[in-house]
Chain A
Amino acid sequence: MLPAHCSRRCGPLMAELRDALDTCAERQRQLERSLRVSRRLLRAWEPAETPAPEPTPGPKTNEEVLPPACTPCPQDLKELELLTQALEKAVQVRRGISKTGDKASSLKSGSIATHATTASAPPRASERKPPRGIGQTTTPASRLPKPRLLSAGDQTCIRRRPHTAKPGQSLRDQPVAPSAAPQAPEAFRLKEKGTLLQLPMAFRKAASQNSRLWAQLSSTQTSDSVDATVFSKTQFLQKMQMTSGWPSSGLSAAEVEAEVGCLQKASSLLRLRMREELTTDPTDWMQEYRCLLTLEGLQAMVGQCLHRLQELQAVVEQPLKPWPEGRLPRASLPCGGRADPIWGPQLLLYSSTEELQTLAALRLRVGMLDQQIHLEKVLMAELLPLVSTREPLGPPRLALFRAVHSLLCEGGHHFLTILRDEPDD
């Protein structure tokens, strides 16, 4: 489409287009990956997702890291809950007994009566339970061939509910056998038992340490030592500047680029504002006056921006230091200031799925628009110089205009038709 002599411009253009395609493909892959992960979490959790290591060494050595879980069945969980309630009551009873001396009548049902003996002999029970609790952790490791899910019946929960170990063990024999079979009828489902999950201790510790360290790092302290450090850094930079063989004035290429970006942003903001003022009809004299003042103010600001731009142009034309060759990377320091705040993850509450959908849709749209705008700018920078030269008009030139117009102004979707209008004479 473009004439042959423009082909040497195509190199950087093609590179940009390829970059854009790669970015989109990468983003698509990321989205697909997170969808896969989420869907997998919502399905029944397969017990054999990871290749099974040897039963004893693996899970055992990582006991404190992530103890192997077991698949509870609903029956298990019900019984565990009942037992928990009973034993908690028993603890209360024991406290009541030790305080008042007589309060043993609050036990509920027959199934709990079997534990009444343990309730009435609390010290023995309490010192009996923990060893069994600890012993409990090794048994699943040796019994279950594959790593399981963390759930209520597991070690970390055993810490919270120390007395569930004993009954759990006897019941665990049953689930092991059927779940060793490929089809586990009692596979874990997030929907039903998600609220029973608990994160492993090691992870929780690491995560809380992580947020604590980040908070420390992000806090800005002012003290004498900090001031002395800042002072010595400034001195170092000044000394660097003085010992260099180049004149110290002048902006770096990155700074020029950043300022040009700022001025470009200024240009679009000013234009938007001008449009707003020009399109609203003033209803009274005061509004009319304000509109006039605003337009005059905008005019002054545009003048200042142009002045600054001319200064930058002078810097670019006469570089006092070697200007770097090649394309600069896209990212650079933000205009107006160098120090970025360290952004910690901010909590963002949502209240409905519609909000989430809107969020996702808008984010995609913004990403797409950003990409389009960037490509448009690149195209403009590459193609506009081609059409700006004062060459004589002719069919090849018109073809060039048509091509450039289509690419830049119509996004490549439409082509103009050029008609030659012969006068009738």
Chain B
Amino acid sequence: MGRGRRRLRVDPADAAGALPEAIAALSRTLPAGPSPETFRRAKFDRPEAASALWQLLFRVLSQLLADSASATPTPEAQAGWVKSVLLSQGYPRRGLAQLAEDGSQGSRELLLALAWLLAQEPLLERLLAQTRIRLGDEMPVCEIHSYTRGCHSDRSLGHLSVAETELLRDPEGGRQLLRRLESENARLEAALAWRCRELVFWQWMDTVLDVCPPETSQPTALPRRRKGRAGELELVARELQALQEELRAAVEARRAAWEARVGSREPEWNAAQRAAQEAVGRELAALRQAWERGGGRAQPHGPHRLMAPGFRLSATPGGPALMGPWVQDFGLSPQKQVDGTGQSAGSQLPRVQSRPWLCVPCLSQGWQEGWC
């Protein structure tokens, strides 16, 4: 058995059954969740719990990262992939890297890995959101919207979507959709139940960590890093350096011109200058926000439900978005397509194509040298 030398904290909640309930709720929310008994066995590093946890981690990670290339059937390949992904995401424990990949051991380490993933981000909510059933339309289909106006039981939606009309046409498909909806509802309920009970799970995970033998700090041979990883970094570095050069030249010229033009400083100039400085400072701060916040691209393209206007029977307080201004932002010409961050997808491509010349000065030099 794996009990540590020091006396474990007595967990009254354990006896009360709150822990199995919490784990059961967690399991129902996860895809292919193992039983609470598997979790208990994993605490004591039992080998029979290992394969269920390898499979669970594989399923969860491959769904999270949407990596279809990882659909490898063999357990060894799955285990190797899981280890690689966890390491790349920064999993802190050495024990994972040392696990054999035949899938026969490591249940405690895998349990810790699962808890680590759960602790860092809203994992369950992300998994559920990724597989969320979409009942609305994202494809433009206005005839069906206009032919079914007034039909929806939900008063804030004015008409049926294609999926809903389809389920009326095809009862068998409708039954399947209903079953999928019901199973999603069950998972959502389990997620909400988990939220109420998860504290007891974290207290239990503390005891799992206590049970682990301490990790030795012997140095392991670090594998060589792939050259390719640095490639992207170097490209960005060269881009930035080229940009810096251009800016330096432009600034020097303009600063000199400005200094030459403005000989004496008049009092009212200073106030105006200060105002200009503040305004520019604000603009640049907004620009910085655009790349630091990140994911701006995702916003206009999130899931949405298309709806024809004038068919809604009641106004919703939040109000749906009007497509008109959004489409105008896109611009009728794709070249001017602008997303929230101000980056233009259309104009990025020609720029990317001219990048290689910036990055390889020797190339242009090569042309000049010609044949020698």
Contacts and interface: CB of A to CB of B under 8 A. Distances in A.
Contacts of B149: 194-195
Interface stretch (B8-16, B32-40, B51-59, B292-300): B292-300
Contact of B125 (A217, A234, A267, A289): A217
A131 to B, nearest CB: 26
Interface in B233-260: 233, 235-237, 239-241, 243-244, 246-248, 250-251, 254-255, 258
A313 B232 CA distance: 11
A317 B233 CA distance: 11
Contacts of B46: none
Contact-residue size bin, chain B (C-beta under 8 Å from the other chain): 35 or more
Interface residues of A, number: 176
Interface string B61-92: 00011110110000000000000110111111
Interface in B187-239: 188-189, 191-192, 196, 198-199, 202-203, 205-206, 209, 212, 214-218, 220, 222-223, 225-233, 235-237, 239
Contact of A203 (B174, B223, B321): B174
B334 A362 contact: yes
Contacts of A326: 84
Given A50-B172, A243-B209, A351 B309 contact: yes
B348 interface: yes
Nearest to B357: A409
A252 B120 CA distance: 14
Nearest to B319: A347
A325 B120 contact: no
Contacts of A197: 148, 151, 160, 165, 168
B305 A346 contact: yes
Contact of B250 (A272, A278, A330): A278
Given A195-B147, A313-B230, A357-B140, A348 B330 contact: no
A343 B147 contact: no
A358 interface: yes
Contacts of A235: 202, 206
A275 B191 CA distance: 49
Interface in A204-230: 204, 206-210, 213-214, 216-218, 225, 228-229
Given A37-B162, A41-B162, A217-B191, A289 B276 contact: yes
Most buried by B among A194, A244, A342, A351: A194
B169 A393 contact: no
Main secondary structure of the interface of A (DSSP, over half): helix
Contacts of A25: none
B231 A381 contact: yes
A331 interface: yes
Interface string A322-343: 1111101111111111111011
B181 A329 contact: no
A381 B355 CA distance: 12
Interface in A292-310: 292-299, 301-303, 305-306, 309-310
Most buried by A among B88, B272, B354: B88
9 contacts: A41-B144, A233-B119, A236-B205, A266-B291, A267-B239, A267-B243, A335-B294, A349-B321, A393-B371
6 closest Cβ contacts across the A-B interface? A252-B90, A347-B320, A356-B140, A194-B147, A245-B215, A334-B295
Given A286-B276, A347-B307, 18 more contacts: A199-B152, A199-B153, A233-B118, A243-B215, A245-B218, A254-B88, A267-B243, A271-B351, A322-B222, A331-B65, A339-B122, A349-B307, A350-B306, A358-B327, A365-B334, A366-B345, A369-B348, A405-B356
